[in-house]
A and B are shown apart, each in its own frame.
Chain A
Amino acid sequence: MTDTAIEVTGLRKTFAGPKGASTEVLRGVDFTVRRGEIFALLGSNGAGKTTIINILSTLLAADGGSATVAGFDVARQAAQVRENISLTGQFAAVDGILTGRENIVLVAKLRDVPEPTKVADALLARFGLTEAANKRAGAYSGGMTRRLDIAMSLVGTPPVIFLDEPTTGLDPEARLEVWKTVKGLADSGVTILLTTQYLDEAEQLADRVAILHGGTIIVNGTLEELKALLPPAKVEYIEKQPTLEDVFLALVGEKEASSDE
């Protein structure tokens, strides 16, 4: 297989709104994610991050353009794509009536993974959930729920993992836990496409960052490349490097100013 894990070309999606209105959410999105990297898709609320994730995980059909995941076309080879991915959606999708262990065992059975209970115990231990393993997931804290959610995504070690805003709504401590987990995952060689509205999250985790704005990717590159887009800010006593936040705000601001003309 090639070096490319995800290839998105000219992706378009328009949602029909009420009373014939429609919103064009994606207006030709292009990006490439290499194997084994953490790629962050950065965008504000409603930018279309979840829409992209849903198209890539075969839940939603695009209106135009194409996308491949692990070499398979998301529209024409959906079954093969599903063999190679796992989705951790924007809102933790765990079964609150089942225990933590049962949740993982369920996914293991559905994925035909041998020895489901063993797999579950290993994942529970890895995510610090061993003690809570036999408690109903509905009684977990936000951080525990998210960890269980991610643990469920790792069953069967799919090579490509989608994380849609994995830390939204978590307290700072739980956020750090999730960050640690994501870094650990990348070290084990899986490809991670994560979306976030938090600039520091992208800065912390991602090998490469793309900013989704106005339906297209307006910039795409490594952190250093993005920072180089702006001249180093005000030289006073020390040279202050622009943070990713500066880059983001400057670019989004420019774009908005130019589209207002």
Chain B
Amino acid sequence: MSKTITLFGRLMKHITRSPDTIITVCITPIGIMLMFVYVMGGAVKTSLPAGMNYVSYLLPGILLITIASGTAYTTVRLFSDVATGLFSRFNSMPIKRSAMLWSHVMTSVVSNLISVVIVILVALTMGFRSSAGPLAWLAVAGLVMLFTLTLTWIAVIPGLVAKTVDGAGVYAYPLIFLPFISSAFVPTATMPAAVRAFAENQPVTSIVNTIRALLMRATIGSEIWVALAWCIGIMAVAYVFAMRIYRRRV
């Protein structure tokens, strides 16, 4: 465990020494947020629940996009450690084999939390307000972290198997776009039947709706269980695959 922390410290130095990775991660979601709020916000407003401001409506989806693009860097960092032989070096030393992998996972969680906080701060300046109490915020934090872990374990797989850096980053694109076909930006009710069916039954919608409900102090329906089931289910599958590849490859 202490070795994992040491290796985690190494990776955090990567983050603090090239803060541009955090900035790059935040810029796209912030840009999307600006565009949606100031360009389309007026038009969308009519289909929103009464009294809902649009920044507050779309923030949950924006956070998920932030995490999806943030975990792309997890893939890149992992890939580069495999490619430079650092994995081989550390794995031939008398430390636990899994230490190196877990240090990447921890770094992913922490760096994504930093990005999420930055995006929330920007949203606050754009008029995001929440009446959620500490418990609800804690639940939001927990869900955000669970989602980050889920995407992190997915991100580990291309990091271990990719042949090039570009290949390593590509997997994130579909994840970044998933929120666009969900309830993240507009209520699903306005979508054509087929799209709506997809949107309402993909993981992002249940997660977005749950976070939104928590932030708005709305009643949290059964969707929280759907959200948790998606996250835990996908994470378990990704974890098993990632570990199997890790044992075989490194």
Cα–Cα distance between A152 and B95 once the two chains are bound (Å): 15
B47 at interface by CB-CB < 8 Å: no
Contact A57 B10 (CB under 8 A): no
A228 at interface by CB-CB < 8 Å: no
A59 at interface by CB-CB < 8 Å: yes
B84, B86, B92, B250: the one within 8 Å of A57 (CB): B92
B6 at interface by CB-CB < 8 Å: yes
Cα–Cα distance between A90 and B84 once the two chains are bound (Å): 10
Contact A87 B94 (CB under 8 A): no
B188 at interface by CB-CB < 8 Å: no
Task: List residues of chain B with CB within 8 A of the CB of A59.
Answer: 88, 91-92, 250
Closest to A155 in B: B93
Contact B93 A95 (CB under 8 A): no
Residues of chain B in range 170-224 having any CB-CB distance to chain A below 8 Å: none
B127 at interface by CB-CB < 8 Å: no
Q: What 0/1 pattern do residues 74 to 97 of A give for CB contact below 8 A with B?
A: 000001001101110111111111
A193 CB to closest chain B CB (Å) equals: 13
Contact A110 B17 (CB under 8 A): no
Cα–Cα distance between A7 and B91 once the two chains are bound (Å): 22
Q: What 0/1 pattern do residues 1 to 33 of B give for CB contact below 8 A with A?
A: 001001100100110011000000000000000
- Count A-B pairs with CB separation below 8 Å: 58
A111 at interface by CB-CB < 8 Å: yes
A139 CB to closest chain B CB (Å) equals: 13
Contact A95 B92 (CB under 8 A): no
Task: List residues of chain B with CB within 8 A of the CB of A86.
Answer: 92-93
Q: What 0/1 pattern do residues 105 to 142 of A give for CB contact below 8 A with B?
A: 01101110000000000000000000000000000000
Contact A98 B10 (CB under 8 A): yes
Cα–Cα distance between A181 and B190 once the two chains are bound (Å): 72
Contact B92 A97 (CB under 8 A): no
A153 CB to closest chain B CB (Å) equals: 8
A37 CB to closest chain B CB (Å) equals: 21
| B: number of interface residues (CB 8 Å) | 20
Cα–Cα distance between A220 and B3 once the two chains are bound (Å): 40
B85 at interface by CB-CB < 8 Å: yes
Contact A152 B89 (CB under 8 A): yes
Beyond A97-B14, A98-B10, whether A110 also contacts B85 by CB under 8 A is no
A89, A98, A106, A107: the one within 8 Å of B85 (CB): A89
B93 CB to closest chain A CB (Å) equals: 6
B97 CB to closest chain A CB (Å) equals: 9
Contact A95 B17 (CB under 8 A): no
A58 at interface by CB-CB < 8 Å: yes
A70 CB to closest chain B CB (Å) equals: 12
Contact B90 A110 (CB under 8 A): yes
Q: What 0/1 pattern do residues 88 to 122 of B give for CB contact below 8 A with A?
A: 11111111000000000000000000000000000
Closest to B95 in A: A110
A87, A98, A106: the one within 8 Å of B92 (CB): A87
Contact B84 A93 (CB under 8 A): yes
A89, A96, A97, A110: the one within 8 Å of B93 (CB): A110
Task: List residues of chain B with CB within 8 A of the CB of A152.
Answer: 89
A83, A91, A98: the one within 8 Å of B94 (CB): A83
Task: List residues of chain B with CB within 8 A of the CB of A79.
Answer: 94
Task: List residues of chain A with CB within 8 A of the CB of B86.
Answer: 93-95
Beyond A95-B86, A109-B6, whether A58 also contacts B18 by CB under 8 A is no
Residues of chain A in range 206-231 having any CB-CB distance to chain B below 8 Å: none
Cα–Cα distance between A83 and B85 once the two chains are bound (Å): 19
Contact A106 B6 (CB under 8 A): yes
Closest 5 CB pairs of A and B: A93-B85, A57-B92, A87-B92, A93-B89, A89-B85
Instruction: Kindly list 4 other residue pairs between chains A and B, CB separation below 8 angstroms, not including A59-B92, A87-B88, A93-B86.
Output: A57-B88, A79-B94, A83-B94, A89-B85
Between-chain CB contacts (< 8 Å), 6 pairs: A57-B88, A57-B92, A89-B88, A93-B89, A95-B10, A97-B18
Interface residues, chain B, with chain A CB atoms under 8 Å away: 3, 6-7, 10, 13-14, 17-18, 84-86, 88-95, 250
Interface residues, chain A, with chain B CB atoms under 8 Å away: 54, 57-59, 79, 82-83, 85-87, 89-98, 102, 106-107, 109-111, 152
